[in-house]
A = this chain, B = another copy of it.
Amino acid sequence: MNVEIISIGDELLIGQTINTNASWIGKKLSNIGANIVKSVSIADQKNEILDSLNDIKEKTDCVVITGGLGPTKDDITKHTLCEFFNTSLEMHGPTLEKIKVFFALRNRPMLESNNLQAELPKSCQILENNYGTAAGMWFERDNTIYISLPGVPYEMKGIMTEEAIPKLQSLFELKSMYYKTAMTQGKGESFLAEIIKDWEEKVYSKGLSLAYLPSPGMVKLRITSTNGDRDAKAIDQLFIELEKLIPKNLFGYDSDTLPSIVGEILKSKNLSIGTVESCTCGKLASYITEVSGASSYFMGSFLTYSNALKQKLANVSKESIEQYGAVSEQVAKEMAEGGRLKLGVDVCISTTGVAGPTGGSEEKPVGMVWIAIATCDQIIAHKFQFSQHRERNIHMTSLCALNLLKNMLSE
């Protein structure tokens, strides 16, 4: 099943909105064995939409279109599809009922514009929307299926999951691609490639392909097989070999995240955790608590942005701040140990650094960060030098802290 994705919206082209819908659709459909050939973003203008629909290649089995189905005047997809499929709108009773119930349940008045959302093209099948007021539409022509969905992500996801994907699966015999991805932290793409060069050759020699997917602080290594899961065992074996090559960097697979892995370790060892954060200011704790159920090991934190609060809350000594500065090994260690005692936790991570873009000095440039971890029997501290970029530095610090913790607890 060859799929093209068309995302409609000026906001995507001028960069006001990042197109997360196309990624989500790509992921879901790849997982059921579809081949995503292309993903196009275009303006919400009739001619652009019609052009894209006319450009669809013959080999394409399914086109997924998102956007332009809202209740406001700039939403023109429905009308344009009527023109393309040479049909017209009519009031769709069940959808109107659904919209009425939607508003009644929320105790909100129904607006005329919502009423009009129940007018749908005659020639399409309706895909029910259980999360909003814009129904999905399913058209068929010349052996190609066209699915039109609202652009609001959770409505689109709902309709895809509950309606469109089951319908597609019942129509196509899908040959699965099989993917497995190792998640690594702490080494750049070129360096990884150098370390794992021979291993990489081995991957290719088995007829599999390897992709390096770098993102700030992480590189994902994805092996793809076109034989479905028949290569699953060979791939598992390859990854076991990879783990031995980069044990401090490879932390998990596929949907594993550093917070989920760290959470598993903490639970298995029955350890509680807290943080004392300066430069990351809550980011590290928010990563740890991304995991539902984190309350069984995460207790709480001090965010000590000011030096006064570093002293008052985390027992950092005034002398250390004066002698070494707030961004120093000494202060990082005192923060971690003070936090461990005052939060009453088994493990405490601290961060202190110059997030930037201002505030750097020759001795302590922007991007310099100290991370410390205190447990009942040791305190470790590591220095990192990141970039000029505030948001990236905060993110990298949080990731590195979690990876340090993972390695410390795994020893």
Q: Within 8 Å of chain B (Cβ to Cβ): is A27?
A: yes
CB–CB B133/A190 < 8 A: yes
CB–CB B40/A13 < 8 A: no
CB–CB B305/A303 < 8 A: no
Question: Which of B15, B40, B306 sits near A299, CB closer than 8 Å?
Answer: B306
Give chain A interface residues in 279-314, CB to chain B under 8 Å. Answer: 280-286, 288-290, 292-295, 298-306, 308-309, 312-313
Chain B residues within 8 Å of A403, by CB: none
Q: Within 8 Å of chain B (Cβ to Cβ): is A85?
A: no
CB–CB B13/A19 < 8 A: no
CA distance A111 to B281 in the complex (A): 37
Min CB distance A342 to B, Å, is 9
- Mark each residue of chain A from 375 to 393: 1 if its CB lies under 8 Å from any CB of chain B, else 0: 0000000000001011110
Give chain A interface residues in 185-207, CB to chain B under 8 Å. Answer: 189-191, 193-194, 200, 204
Identical chains bound together, number: 2
CB–CB A300/B299 < 8 A: no
Question: Which of B213, B289, B299, B394 sits near A17, CB closer than 8 Å?
Answer: B213
Decide yes or no: A22 and B19 within 8 Å by CB, A74-B212, A190-B111, A301-B282 being known contacts: yes
Chain B residues within 8 Å of A357, by CB: 292
Stretch at the interface among A65-73, A137-145, A230-238, A243-251: A65-73
Chain B residues within 8 Å of A215, by CB: 17
CB–CB B114/A190 < 8 A: yes
Q: Within 8 Å of chain B (Cβ to Cβ): is A210?
A: yes
Contact residues of A: prevailing secondary structure: mixed
Q: Within 8 Å of chain B (Cβ to Cβ): is A88?
A: no
Decide yes or no: A313 and B286 within 8 Å by CB, A24-B15, A189-B71, A292-B356 being known contacts: no
Question: Which of B26, B289, B355 sits near A13, CB closer than 8 Å?
Answer: B26
CB–CB B193/A71 < 8 A: yes
Give chain A interface residues in 17-54, CB to chain B under 8 Å. Answer: 17-20, 22-28, 30, 36-43, 48, 52
Q: Within 8 Å of chain B (Cβ to Cβ): is A410?
A: no
CA distance A195 to B71 in the complex (A): 14
CA distance A172 to B377 in the complex (A): 66
Chain B residues within 8 Å of A290, by CB: 390-391
Chain B residues within 8 Å of A181, by CB: 16
Question: Which of B220, B292, B344, B390 sits near A358, CB closer than 8 Å?
Answer: B292
* Nearest CB in chain B to that of A57: its residue: B51
CB–CB A286/B281 < 8 A: yes
CB–CB B300/A303 < 8 A: yes
CB–CB A12/B40 < 8 A: no
Question: Which of B19, B39, B295, B394 sits near A23, CB closer than 8 Å?
Answer: B19
Chain B residues within 8 Å of A179, by CB: 14
Chain B residues within 8 Å of A193, by CB: 71-72, 111, 113
| Residues on A facing B (Cβ under 8 Å) | 10-20, 22-28, 30, 36-43, 48, 52, 55, 70-74, 108, 111, 113-114, 133, 152, 154, 179, 181, 189-191, 193-194, 200, 204, 209-215, 220, 222, 224, 275, 277, 280-286, 288-290, 292-295, 298-306, 308-309, 312-313, 343-344, 355-358, 387, 389-392, 394
Give 7 pairs: A residue, B residue, CB < 8 Å, sorted on A: A10-B224, A11-B213, A16-B181, A38-B41, A70-B212, A154-B389, A308-B344
